[in-house]
Structure formats: C-alpha cells, structure tokens
C-alpha cells in the first residue's frame, strides 16, 4: 500500500462533522481491509466457467450423437447441467467449487440451479408452503423477475422496429 | 483501581461507569462449542464439543436452543447449585425475537430477562447481572448467550448451501453457548476468587460503515469509545490490565482499534486481545477475519479467560464484547451499522 495515500487517522478522530468523519473513516477502512486478488479471481473464474461450458458442449455433442436434433440436444444439456448442479449442491461440493471459481460457477446455468436448490434445502424445515414455497426464489427471484421484464422490453422494441420495417 | 467509597449513596463513577460496593463473584461458568470451534486453538479448553452441528435436533434454531440449555445447566452444576437457586436469568442470542433463548431456557423455570446486544450480549448480561447483585435485587444470577453459524448465515446472509465467495473481512459466526453464574458470595474455596469490580456501559457508535461483511470495521469505533471512556472514568492507564479483551473485532477491526486509540494517546498494542482472533486458526480453518457471534466472546471468556485468571496468569482484565446492531432489513434499506461495546472489569484476588 502506498503510505502517502493513507488517510490520516487524526482526520477521523478529530473531525467534528459527523458526515465528513464517516467519509474519512470509510476511506480509511477501505485501505486497511485486505481484498481478494482480482487477477487470481478472474483466472479461477475463467478456468471453472470454461470447464462447465466445455462440459455443456460435450453433453450437446453427445445428445446429437444419440440422435437428438440440435434444439433438443440443447434442452437435454440444460437439464443435465441443472441436475448435476443440484446433486453437487445437495452433497456440499458446489459450494466449495464456487468458493474457488467465483463468477465461473455463478454465471452458467449451474449457478442458477444452485441458487434455487440451496434455499430449498435450507427452508424445508419451515414447511412446503411457507418454507420452500416462499423462500425458494429468494436468491434467484431477482434474476427471474428482471430476466422476464427485460425480455418483455426487448420484445416490445423488436415489435416496434418490425412495424417500421427495420428488422 | 480506585476504591468506591462505601458510604457514597451512588456506585456510579465518571460519565458512564460503575464501581460496585460489593463486587459480585463469578462462581460457575461453562462453554459448549461446535465442531469447528473444538478444532480451533482453544478447542481443548471447552467443557463440551459437539461433532453434530444439529445436536440431534431437527433445525438450526432448535440446535442453538439446545446449546444454550446445556451451557446454562453446566454452569449451574459447576457452581454447585440447582436452577431453583438462581433469581434471574439474563440471556440473549442473534436470532430474531431471541428464539434461541426463549426455547432454550424455558424448562429451567428461572425468572427471565431477554437481552439483545448482538455479539456484545455477554457484556450486557454480565453488566446487568452485576448491577442486580450489587443492588441487592438478587443473590444469584445466570448470564447465558449463544450463536450458531448455520442459523446466523440463514438469517443474515445466504442459505448454507449457496455457493459464494466470502471477503477476507468477513467473520465466521461461532457455534456454541457460554454461561456464567454470578453470586453475592464466593462459594469457590480453592484458588483465587474472581470478581466483577465494575462496568462501563457502551453508547451506540456509528461511523457510517455499511458493509455487513466487515463488521470489525463497524465495531472498532465502539470499542475505542468504551475503552477510552472507561480509562477516563476510572482514571486508569491501559497497562493497569493484563489484557484488554474485545469480543469479535477480528483481524481487520483489531488493527483499526489500535490505530484509533493511538490517536487518543492510548496504547493497547501490547495487551490487547480479541476473542475473534483467538478462537480460530485463520490459516487452517479458513475463517478469514476471525470468529464472531454472541458465543464468540462468551465461550472464549468462560473457556479461556477465566482459566487464565483462576490459574493466576492474569490478575485483571477488561472484557468488552462488541456488537453490531444491524438487521437484514436495516441493511437492505441502506442503513449504516450501529455498534456497541460493553466493558466489564474482571479481577482475580
């Protein structure tokens, strides 16, 4: 850390204005708090995410080889990856993978499956309706809501452009 | 330590401290810990270490209640008492509406005050318990607090099976429960008697931290404020104490505390200890900033600190559990994290 850039602690302790004091303190805390290495994280995410996607490609190829057409093979692949993710979540392996892989496990469909399976396991004790029913989408909910909402917006734009003959 | 004049009607001293006329005795204490805590550096000091995080219960919440029940019973037993002898039970935990406490201590049939001070609850319980005893309102008081990693994760963060990365500043909630029996008389004939000489009650201190994954940073100013006020109120130097023991500032918060106090010309770098740093080994246990939770300071105090006092290794300690008083709702609504630290003077004589 660059010593010259350090926030002077006296600017926190002696500052009379609470807002300025808090700003100075937050800045100081930012400097003294250790962070994950960005480069290492990106590399791990690239590696793990890449492996998951390669696995997906392998499944698609395999289902085509078994005689499925391309669209069906993609659907089967999704089902397989989701199944694997839920399975790994239930035996406690996906969490360990995510700790290492970060966004590499979060972005593919397996991350989505994990975010649905985890609350389902956790809230089972609180019942089928108020437990699982209410809580299953606590993490995935925003993805679903804004996913649907943004596709609706895009659909609208597509419709308007089509009316004007642009697409 | 300045003696309080017994003829003085008041026991209060300075701005926010008390010196007791008849300092209560600690006559029994217990520590019940989870598996990870048992594997930590203090693991061999705890009364019981449970391999099963559920303790044979169905839910995390019931498991935490069971931790608390066992801690309470063990402490009463070690004090050579039965639950009928206890006038007041002061207990608290991290779960909403204190359900770990309510369900955990129900069958003990002791008049009950539920306390919420987040991870500072043991400091709050020892403070109020001592006031009750020195005030003549009770002769025996039981103070119990608990926390559970899984229950706290579920309530404050994510479901346990959700895959994510914890920042280095995040702390690890301690699973377990610690209990202390306070008494107006010493029943422990062998070894030094351990007494609570005084307290300094903390104010809510908020320096505008919003990151719940960095609770040490939110709580350090509160600890700083309480330590500074305590030393001023009692006119003491920090080296009066063998140890100044914060609850769960962890690695980040402890460094900040030392920095902040240094600005006030108070140097605690040689005798500061943090329960959150003691309880886990961050290298082998992957606990990042250290332990936290009501049980963190509670079982470190009952398992480790009291032992050091009993064996004469330390004579005087300032024990100040620290707590961050945010909730999931306050966090989601963009609020800062108000923090508190309650100091208790514990001396062996």
pLDDT tens figures, A118-134:
999 999 999 999 999 99
The CATH number linked to B76 is: 3.40.47.40
Mean pLDDT of B166-191: 92
| Disruptive mutation site among A9, A10, A29 for chain B (greatest number of B CBs within 10 Å) | A29
* Rounded Cα distance, B157 and A133, in Å: 19
CA distance B337 to chain A (A): 12
CB contact under 8 A, B167 and A36: yes
CB contact under 8 A, B214 and A10: no
* Contact present, A65 and A55 (Cβ < 8 Å): no
Nearest to A22 among B162, B208, B255 (CB): B208
Cα B266 to Cα A116, A154, B28, B270, distances in angstroms? 50, 61, 33, 11
pLDDT, tens digit, for every residue of A29-88? Answer: 999 999 888 899 999 999 999 999 999 999 999 999 999 999 999 999 999 999 999 999
State which residue of chain A sits closest to B254, comparing Cα positions.
A32
CB contact under 8 A, B161 and A95: yes
Nearest to A114 among B163, B167, B221 (CB): B163
Asked if residue B189 is part of any domain, the answer here is no
Q: How many domains does chain B have?
A: 2
Q: Chains A and B: how many Cβ contacts under 8 Å?
A: 103
Q: What is the pLDDT of residue A1?
A: 42
pLDDT at B193 over 80: yes
Q: What is the pLDDT of residue A4?
A: 46
Residues of A in contact with B168 (CB under 8 A): 33-36
Asked whether residue B179 falls in the same domain as residue B198, the answer is no
pLDDT at B36 over 90: yes
* Rounded Cα distance, B174 and B53, in Å: 11
Mean pLDDT of B64-87: 97
* Contact present, B42 and B300 (Cβ < 8 Å): yes
Evaluate if pTM is beyond 0.90.
yes
pLDDT category of residue A167 using cuts at 50, 70 and 90: confident
Q: Provide the mean pLDDT of chain A.
A: 93
Residues of A in contact with B167 (CB under 8 A): 33, 35-36
Asked whether residue B174 falls in the same domain as residue B208, the answer is no
Percent of chain A's residues with pLDDT above 90: 91
Asked whether residue B220 falls in the same domain as residue B146, the answer is no
* Contact present, A86 and A113 (Cβ < 8 Å): yes
The single residue listed with the structure tokens 């962070």 is A35
* Rounded Cα distance, B289 and B253, in Å: 8
Residues of B in contact with A32 (CB under 8 A): 252, 255-256, 259
Alpha carbon of residue B4 to chain centroid: 26
| Disruptive mutation site among B59, B153, B159, B216 for chain A (greatest number of A CBs within 10 Å) | B159
pLDDT, tens digit, for every residue of B249-300? Answer: 999 999 999 999 999 999 999 999 999 999 999 999 999 999 999 999 999 9
pLDDT category of residue A6 using cuts at 50, 70 and 90: low
CB contact under 8 A, B162 and A21: no
Asked whether residue B105 falls in the same domain as residue B143, the answer is yes
Q: Where are the domains of chain A?
A: 1-33, 38-136, 139-167
pLDDT at A2 over 90: no
Residues of B in contact with A111 (CB under 8 A): 163
DSSP string of B5-18, one letter each residue: PTT-S--EETTTEE
* Rounded Cα distance, B99 and B102, in Å: 5
Asked whether residue B138 falls in the same domain as residue B269, the answer is no
pLDDT category of residue A5 using cuts at 50, 70 and 90: low
Asked whether residue B163 falls in the same domain as residue B199, the answer is no
CB contact under 8 A, A125 and B163: no
Asked whether residue B97 falls in the same domain as residue B232, the answer is no
* Rounded Cα distance, B63 and B151, in Å: 9
Asked whether residue B168 falls in the same domain as residue B226, the answer is no
Q: What is the pLDDT of residue A37?
A: 85
Asked whether residue B15 falls in the same domain as residue B156, the answer is yes
Asked whether residue B151 falls in the same domain as residue B210, the answer is no
Asked whether residue B33 falls in the same domain as residue B173, the answer is yes
Asked whether residue B160 falls in the same domain as residue B239, the answer is no
Beta-sheet pairing, B140-147 with B172-173: unpaired
ipTM surpasses 0.85: yes
pLDDT category of residue B6 using cuts at 50, 70 and 90: confident
Mean pLDDT of B124-140: 98
User: Which range marks the domain in which residue B300 is found?
Assistant: 194-348
Helix, strand, or coil here: A150?
Answer: helix
pLDDT at B72 over 60: yes
Percent of chain B's residues with pLDDT above 70: 99
CA distance A118 to chain B (A): 5
State which residue of chain B sits closest to A87, comparing Cα positions.
B161
Residues of B at the A interface, defined by Cβ within 8 angstroms: 58-59, 154, 158-169, 206-209, 214, 217, 221, 252, 255-256, 259-260, 262-264, 336
pLDDT at B190 over 80: no
CB contact under 8 A, B158 and A139: yes
Please name which of B96, B153, B163 lies closest in space to residue B292, comparing C-alpha atoms: B153
pLDDT at B137 over 50: yes
Q: Which residues contact A19 (CB under 8 A, 6 or more apart)?
A: B208
Q: What is the pLDDT of residue B9?
A: 83
Beta-sheet pairing, B316-320 with B291-292: unpaired
Q: What is the pLDDT of residue B2?
A: 67
> Dihedral of CA B195/B197/B203/B208: which sign?
negative
Q: Provide the mean pLDDT of chain B.
A: 96
Asked if residue B188 is part of any domain, the answer here is no
């Amino acid at each position: 850390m660059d010593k010259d850039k350090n926030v002077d602690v006296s600017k926190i302790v002696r500052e009379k204005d609470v807002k300025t004091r808090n700003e100075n303190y937050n800045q100081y805390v930012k400097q003294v708090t250790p962070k994950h290495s960005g480069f290492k994280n990106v590399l791990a995410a690239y590696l793990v995410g890449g492996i998951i996607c390669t696995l997906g490609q392998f499944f698609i190829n395999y289902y085509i080889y078994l005689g499925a057409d391309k669209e069906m093979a993609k659907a089967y692949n999704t089902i397989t990856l989701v199944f694997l993710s839920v399975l790994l979540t239930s035996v406690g392996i996906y969490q360990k993978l995510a700790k290492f892989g970060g966004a590499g496990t979060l972005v593919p469909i397996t991350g989505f499956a994990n975010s649905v399976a985890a609350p389902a396991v956790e809230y089972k004790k609180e019942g089928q309706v108020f437990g699982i029913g209410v809580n299953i989408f606590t993490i995935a909910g925003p993805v679903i809501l804004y996913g649907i909402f943004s596709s609706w917006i895009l659909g609208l734009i597509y419709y308007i452009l089509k009316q004007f003959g642009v697409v | 330590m300045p003696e309080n004049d017994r003829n003085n009607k008041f026991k209060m001293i300075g701005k926010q401290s008390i010196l007791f006329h008849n300092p209560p005795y600690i006559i029994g204490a217990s520590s019940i810990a989870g598996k990870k805590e048992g594997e930590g550096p203090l693991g061999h000091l705890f009364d019981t270490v449970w391999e099963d995080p559920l303790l044979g219960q169905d839910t995390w919440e019931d498991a935490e209640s069971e931790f608390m029940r066992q801690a309470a019973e063990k402490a009463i037993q070690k004090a050579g008492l039965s639950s009928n002898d206890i006038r007041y039970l002061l207990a608290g935990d991290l779960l909403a509406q204190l359900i770990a406490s309510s369900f955990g201590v129900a069958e003990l049939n002791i008049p009950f005050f539920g306390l919420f001070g987040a991870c500072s609850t043991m400091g709050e319980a020892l403070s109020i318990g001592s006031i009750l005893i020195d005030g003549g309102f009770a002769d025996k008081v039981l103070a119990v607090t608990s926390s559970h990693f899984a229950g706290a994760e579920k309530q404050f963060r994510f479901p346990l099976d959700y895959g994510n990365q914890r920042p280095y500043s995040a702390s690890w909630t301690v699973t377990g429960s610690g209990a202390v029996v306070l008494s107006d008389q010493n029943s422990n004939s062998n070894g030094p008697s351990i007494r609570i000489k005084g307290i300094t009650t903390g104010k809510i201190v908020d320096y505008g931290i919003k990151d719940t994954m960095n609770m040490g940073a939110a709580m350090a100013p509160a600890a700083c404020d309480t330590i500074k006020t305590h030393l001023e109120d009692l006119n003491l130097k920090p080296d009066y104490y063998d140890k100044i023991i914060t609850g769960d500032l962890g690695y980040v918060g402890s460094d900040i505390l030392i920095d902040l106090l240094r600005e006030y010309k108070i140097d605690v770098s040689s005798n500061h200890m943090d329960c959150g740093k003691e309880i886990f080994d961050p290298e082998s246990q992957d606990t990042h900033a250290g332990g936290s939770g009501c049980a963190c300071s509670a079982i470190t105090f009952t398992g480790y600190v009291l032992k050091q006092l009993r064996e004469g290794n330390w004579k005087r300690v300032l024990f100040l559990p620290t707590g961050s008083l945010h909730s999931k709702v306050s966090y989601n609504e963009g609020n800062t994290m108000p923090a508190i630290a309650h100091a208790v003077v514990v001396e062996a004589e």
